[in-house]
Amino acid sequence: MEFGIKIGTPEKQRGACVVVGIFESKKLTDSAKVLDKVTQGYIKNILALGDMEGKMNTSLMLHNVPNTLFKRVLLVGLGKEQEFKEKAFLTAINTALSALQKTTATDAMLFLSDFSVNGRTNEWKAMQIVIAAISSGYRFDQLKSKPDNDQSSLRKIVLCIDDRTELTACEESLQQGMAIAHGMSLAKDLGNLAPNICTPTYLAKQAKDLAKTHKLKVSILEEKDMEKLGMGSLLAVAKGTEQPAKLIVLEYHGLGKKENPIVLVGKGITFDTGGISLKPAADMDEMKFDMSGAASVLGTLHAVAEINLPINVVGIIPTTENMPSGKATKPGDVVTSMSGQTIEILNTDAEGRLILCDALTYAERYNPKVVIDIATLTGACVIALGNFTTGLMSNDDKLAEELLSAGEQVGDRAWRLPLWDEYQDLLKSNFADMANIGGRAAGTITAACFLSRFTKNYHWAHLDIAGTAWKSGKEKGSTGRPVPLLTQFLITQAKAAS
């Protein structure tokens, strides 16, 4: 899909469709007023018929409106004006996109002045519209014998602003929004693939393809390489599967190589049965999404490279299946991590932290500015925060605030949970340096406490995306989160360093 930014008002534009907003009680927005004037009251006359009240989640398509250069005029309900905030804005945009996709319109024009959100700039609105538009057109049908034949005719969206001084900033935001959406699409594709296709070897190939496209440096560590490094924790998870484990490393150099990188570590369990601590059969198919952390790292690197951000980023992806077999790790086994710390594995279904801890130790060799790990780590996070908010824990207040701010900025929100020393006692073991679980209480926090024991030498944050990485039910599928949060964080870091 193409996107553009223009300066102008509705009466002088032409195209397949123009979108204007209507607030509740039939109140016209600025562009709607302009159209009503040039059409000699046509818009108000239509509203007087009662077909459109301006309520949220409603729209009305008008054809051949007199004295206009558009084939269609789409009226979109904005709800109550005093309640028009971020959520209402996104609802209105998605309502407009849904209506447009049901037509044969090939292009559409929106006027950002119609969608005034207190505290939000036109650059923010432009980015959100681009992400929403590309996301609304996303389909995953490559595994069907006959792909769905419901592709929209919409090919171009033009956003109009009335202040020429904002043009450059809006164009930059538009390009960033496109890159974020493309990164999300990559993450969605990887998450939605069947687990017999998206194996650790497949993820490694995708990393190589990404490196080739964007001229990144890629390294793939095999199991024998991990054995030499002493990654006993990661390899313990891989013992039960026939699929070889991989440690994928991608390096993006947008600055000189002497600049310390930001390291992203993504959990890549391509299928999680729970191992010997076997999960219930119901909904186990969704455990193909357990590599969503890995997918988000690849998606973020795709976005960063597309934007050509002046920043150095390293992506590290430990990836394996977690399967039950005669060779699988058992509850009660003790393994030695790359850091030299020993771990008593009380539950083989707490495997994500076992592969992450060795990857976090490996990250030290890059002398990172900060390290952020991303993982579908705990069901407890879903209980605590639901499916709307990512869990955030960190050993650095400044880093935590920067991530929270990035999430708020781009609409991919996180919430910080405590990481106090009192929780560390829950990981005590009689037979090793630590246990890999701390019981039912504070499960999300104790998982982060476990990881924190491997991150003492750098600034670190942990994102638990168990509730936000995918949707269940009728809309089952990957969400592409937290690619927006991570990319916005990196955009902000690059700006601060320039």
- How far is residue 149's CA from residue 449's CA, in Å, rounded to a whole number? 48
H-helix or E-strand spanning residue 34 = helix 30-38
Residue type, 159: L
Q: Determine the 3-state secondary structure of 345 from DSSP.
A: coil
137-146 LR contacts (CB < 8 Å, sep 24+): 137/1, 137/101, 138/185, 138/188, 140/188, 140/189, 140/192, 140/477, 143/193, 143/194, 143/197
Q: Judge contact between 369 and 494, C-beta under 8 A.
A: no
The pair of structure tokens assigned to 199 is 């194996």
The pair of structure tokens assigned to 377 is 């780590």
| Per annotation, catalytic residue among 205, 279, 416, 453 | 279
Sorted by sequence, the CB contacts under 8 Å of residue 354 that are 6+ apart come out as: 233, 234, 236, 237, 335, 343, 345, 436
| Per annotation, catalytic residue among 71, 72, 353, 481 | 353
The CA angle 302-308-312, to the nearest 5 degrees, is 80
Indicate if 279 belongs to the active site: yes
Strands 459-464 and 370-375, bridge-based pairing: parallel
Closest CA to 391 of 329, 333, 463, 446: 463
- How far is residue 272's CA from residue 278's CA, in Å, rounded to a whole number? 9
- How far is residue 392's CA from residue 414's CA, in Å, rounded to a whole number? 6
- Compute and round to an integer the Cα radius of gyration of the chain: 25
Residue type, 216: L
Indicate if 37 belongs to the active site: no
H-helix or E-strand spanning residue 443 = helix 443-452
Going 343 to 344 to 346 to 351, the CA torsion angle's sign is positive
Catalytic residues: 279, 353
